[in-house]
Structure 1
Amino acid sequence: MQDPPHHDLCIVLTYYSPYVSGLTNVARDVAEGLAARGWKVCVVASRHEPDLPTREVVNGVEVVRAPVLAKVGKGTIGLNLTRLALREMARSAVVNLHLPLVEAGVLARLATVPVVSTYHCDVSLPTDDGPRVVRTVNALQHKAIDFSSRVALKRSTAVVVSSEDYARHSRMWPAIEGSMVAVPPPCPPRGTGSPTFRRGPGLHVGFLGRIVEEKGVEYLVDAFRRLDDPDARLLIGGDFQGVAGGSVAATVRRHIDGDPRIEMLGFLPEEQLDDFYASIDVFALPSVNAFEAFGIVQVVAMMAGVPALVSDIPGVRTVVENTGFGAVAKPRDVAGLTEALARLRDTPPDRAAGAASASALYSVDAVLDAYEAVFAKSRGR
């Protein structure tokens, strides 16, 4: 008789907690949420920082990390990830690959158990500026990841996407279409904070995320600076050190140009986030390309009663469209962003109603229920 699987679920991705990104947070919340429901969950990821343990249990989840030889763009190089993932996959009932993942194609081909792929977004790497060697490496990495994604998606029993809107605009749509299941990312609500970041009575706009090119922070800065309001404040929270893909903090500072109303807060630890949301009147997510596929942080802000101003790009716009709690502007449209900020300042939406709508649509329990159903169905096959 065949031995029963050691794990109910094996999750594989490049970066896992304590790294912070939307993709990482989804994998972590699904892993820990299902572990709390009694699932035996294992996560295999790269050891993106050398001081991280190679094996540990975090909030009920067994985490196995593979040593990294080098980091290239937003990915890592290290053959141990494939080897360790295949070992843990073989001991599991079902596998959940989080894409983009350069190893996904190989893992899906060699998997001996059902594979569910969560496709977060199309990879986006600059190939038209910077040193030639960087452009060449980015172009090669871009092609390799897309090829790997297509292979994995076609071999998956189900493909989870954050929204059909994003999936239909993805380069991977032909590989996604036949097995798509739309499940939004889990969005844990925040607690009650104190407005410790407020600097007066004026409109306070907040951004929270990695300070990287695809976030479009410099366009938000330019739009905010057009507001003729000396009491307004823009609070920019987010890591700009050790960020995969490279930070654009220097570019953002050039656009700030010494404006005393704008403050770069740097990385905000978990214990300060409630206070951050309690301090702002509008949350802004001015993403500029399809690498941003949903924007969990906008939902978290909405659940805290803060309306969101987001870019009109596939996936990201769906949250404001579904809740009516915020505004949408074209990517890189500085004038449009300024107009939306002024509108949300002058005619603010009902915060309580907006928070209730976001909580009803994007609760963690509803998302975990959906993932459980997908995994159970795939396991049954």
Structure 2
Amino acid sequence: MNETNTRYDLTVALTYYEPYVSGLTHTARTVAEGMAARGWRVAVATTRHERSLPSRETIAGVDVYRAPVLGRLSRTPLSPGYPAMTARLARRSGVLHLNLPMADAAIVANLVRRTPIVSTLHIDLYLPPGLLNTVAMRASDVTSRSAIRRSAAVVAYSEDQAHDSKFWPLMRRREFQAIPAPCLDRRGGQPSYRKGGGLHVGFLGRIVEDKGIVYLVRAFRRITDPDARLLIAGNYLTVAGGDNLADVRAEIGEDRRIAVLGELRGREIDDFYASIDVFALPSVAESFGIVQAEAMMCGIPSVTTNLPGGRSPVTSTGFGKLVPPRDPEALESAILEMAATSRDWREEKALLARELFSSDRSLDAYEKTFASARTGMNPNFGI
């Protein structure tokens, strides 16, 4: 790859990329690789958040460029060369896909010159309480606002998420699109994590404070069935901003019915979904929850907190139950209610989930948005 000469149809900008896993990186990677599979020339501008990663490589037809990282501030990689590298790539591209929140978004947006920008607002940044995190969130808000002002179009996962966002007054002035995250059909796994015939509840995601896992553990421990199991899967070793595994383990105590599985990938995730009866997403901050949508596509109902955006997979399908944040008693009741639902009802709802959340449907909408921004059109989209 020669950064000085190669021209692209699309540059996707985000600070963490493969092999880092989060909802944001999943969406950005699926969009990048999906557009490349459709014949678009795609670059990703990201940071070298692990020193073992190469500065340039091609993954699934996507040219990935990584800027060096000097350190971190909270969850933010400090990479002085990142804005300039991203801008160079963007200026040789038909359109820039900017993934927010991003600390360098304002700088990048003002360096790209005439290249049109499509910004995806994945979430209003949430960090645990603390002076440093408060400063970081306020700085992030400033950069997001600046980037949105420079954007030809802005995407959020749902109308629900967008209308509750602090950035909605700006977003509504741009060409706005509600595009659900592209989700994978993970049916066909083996129940290799299942032990016995009791109720199996599952959580999958980063092991961090904002996922509310401690409240799920408290809820599960209210269930007295000795054959019930709670499977907690997700990354806690390389989480930006740090994990809260110690808090989760303290809540688990000596309850051997609860297993922490660690990070799962590929077929392991398929097997995880095949092993559970109810999915739980007890977040205290959430904008969509790809993991719950993928669970639904596999025929598994989701119990999730009643948060704008995070509740949209449940409200749009009826395939689950909403509970207040930080409420173990409500979580327990909802889990048991969903566990008692019929197979026919689950199959009916799974069909709807696969229709609404498929990656092809999401990619169709993104492709229209990118094409419109590139040509300066003002389409009336909808999915």
Percent sequence identity over matched residues? 50
Counterpart position of 1:131:
none
Aligned residues: 369
Q: Give deviations 1:50-105, integer Å, cap 9, x for gaps.
A: 01010011000000000101011111111111111011011101101000011111
> Is contact 2:187-2:274 (8 Å) kept?
no
Q: Map of 1:85-104 to 2, 5 A cutoff? A: 85-104=86-105
Query: Counterpart in 1 of 2:162?
Result: 167
- Structure 1 residues 188-227: Cα deviation after superposition (integer angstroms, max 9, x where no partner): 1114011111111111000011100000000000001101
Question: What is the Cα-based RMSD across aligned positions, in Å?
Answer: 1.3
Aligned to 2:364: 369
Residue in structure 1 matched with residue 211 of structure 2 by the alignment:
215
**What is the CA–CA distance in structure 2 between the aligned matches of 1:273 and 1:5, rounded to whole Å?**
36
Query: What residue identity is the alignment partner of 2:166?
Result: R
1:119 corresponds to which residue?
A: 121
Distance 2:172 2:371 in 1: 20
State which of 282, 307, 312 in structure 2 corresponds to 1:318.
Answer: 312
Give the structure 2 partner of residue 48 of structure 1.
49
Deviates most, 171-180 or 35-44? 171-180
Counterpart selection for 2:275 from 264, 273, 279: 279
Q: Does 8-17 or 107-116 show the bigger shift?
A: 107-116
Q: Distance in 2 between matches of 1:279 and 1:367?
A: 27
Which of residues 284, 289, 300 in structure 1 aligns to 2:294? Answer: 300
Q: Which residue does the alignment assign to 1:235? A: 231
SS at match of 1:205: strand
Task: Show the 5 A alignment for 1:55-74.
Answer: 55-74=56-75
CA shift at 1:5, angstroms?
7.9
Q: Give 1:106 deviation, angstroms.
A: 1.3
Deviation at 1:346, TM superposition (A): 2.5
Q: Which runs of 5+ in 2 are unaligned?
A: 377-383
Deviations 1:277-330 (A, max 9, x none): 1110001100012xx200001111111111111110001111111111111111
- Structure-2 change in CA distance of 1:5 and 1:94 (3 Å): farther
Offset at 1:274? 1.2
- SS of the equivalent of 1:178 reads coil
Could you say which residue in structure 2 is the equivalent of 1:345? 339
TM alignment of 1:31-42, pairs within 5 A:
31-42=32-43
Name the amino acid aligned to 1:142.
Answer: M
Residue of structure 1 equivalent to 2:28: 27
Q: Is the 8 A contact 1:5 1:92 kept in 2?
A: no
Quote the residue 2:379 is aligned against.
none
Distance in 2, matches of 1:287 and 1:195, equals: 25
State whether residues 9 and 40 of structure 1, in contact with CA within 8 Å, keep that contact through their aligned partners in structure 2: yes
Structure 1 length as normaliser, TM-score? 0.95
Aligned-pair CA distance for 1:108: 1.2
Instruction: List runs of 5+ in structure 1 lacking aligned partners.
Output: 129-134
2:248 matched residue in structure 1: 252
**What per-residue deviation string (whole Å, max 9, x for no partner) do you get for residues 15-55 of structure 1?**
01110000000000000001000000000001110010100
Q: Structure 2 CA distance, aligned partners of 1:359 and 1:305?
A: 10
TM-score normalised to structure 2 length: 0.94
Q: Is the 8 A contact 1:237 1:265 kept in 2?
A: yes
Tell me the amino acid that sits aligned with residue 379 of structure 1: R
**Does the 8 Å contact 2:295/2:301 carry over to 1?**
yes
CA distance in 2, matches of 1:329, 1:351: 20
The letter of the residue matching 1:355 is A
Distance (Å, rounded) in 2 between the aligned partners of 1:110 and 1:238: 36
